[in-house]
Amino acid sequence: MATDAKTLVERWLEAGDSGDLDGFDDCLHQDVVVHAPLGLSTTGLEAEKDVWRAALDAIPDLRHAVQEVVVEGATIAVRVIVTGTLRREFAGIPATGRAFEMDQMVFAHVRDGKLKEIWEVADVARVLRTRDR
């Protein structure tokens, strides 16, 4: 289970970064619930795809680099470094044209071999500080 759970999260983030949002179908439940900062929480697979479409439109070079993964039963904790360049407004943050890097934690529950519920905790303040430079 540990390897499968780690692979699910990595596949989800890689699919998102590459714009292969159909790849979400293999990793996320149809009725996935994602709790995210900045009003980006979603319910349902299609709503999560919509958020990623908007993110990729605003941050075309968006990347999630998985640093650590801890799996305990059906629960996954992942430490991620997120990078990109904010080319357009996203989630209320105005476009800066500057590259950013932020830390993110993702906690997820797996059910029936897919990610069912996800909590994202991100150092958004770091992105806002990049804006002010």
Structural domain span for residue 120? 2-131
Closest alpha carbon to 107 in 115, 96, 118: 118
Average pLDDT, the chain: 92
Above 70 in pLDDT, residue 131? Answer: no
What pLDDT shows up at residue 17? 97
* CATH value at residue 88: 3.10.450.50
For 80, counting Cβ atoms within 10 Å of its Cβ (0-12 exposed, 13-18 middle, 19+ buried), the class is buried
The rounded percent of the chain whose pLDDT value lies above 90 is 80
For residue 73, what are its two tokens? 């039963």
Number of domains within the chain: 1
- The C-alpha atoms of residue 12 and residue 27 are separated, in whole angstroms, by 6
CA-angle at 117, arms to 116 and 123, nearest 5°: 140
Q: Which alpha helices (H) appear in the chain, and where do they start and end?
A: 2-18, 24-27, 45-58, 124-131
Tens of pLDDT, residue by residue over 37-86, are 999 999 999 999 999 999 999 999 999 999 999 999 989 999 999 999 99
For residue 127, what are its two tokens? 């992105």
